[in-house]
Structure 1
Amino acid sequence: MCMLCKIKTQKKTIYYSVAPRGSGPDYFVYAAACSEVELDVLTGETVALRTDILYDCGKSLSPEIDIGQIEGSFVMGLGYWMTEKTRFNLETGRNITHGTWEYKVPLAKDIPRDF
Structure 2
Amino acid sequence: MDAVFNPIDFPSIASALDWEIHDLLPPDNSPYSDGTLVDKVVFSLNNPSDAEEVIVGMKDIGYFKKEKSLNDIFEYLYLTENMSEKRRVIKEILEKLVSNNILKLKNGKYLA
TM over 0.5: no
Higher strand share: 1
TM (norm. structure 2) is 0.29
Using structure 1 for the length normalisation, give the TM-score.
Answer: 0.28
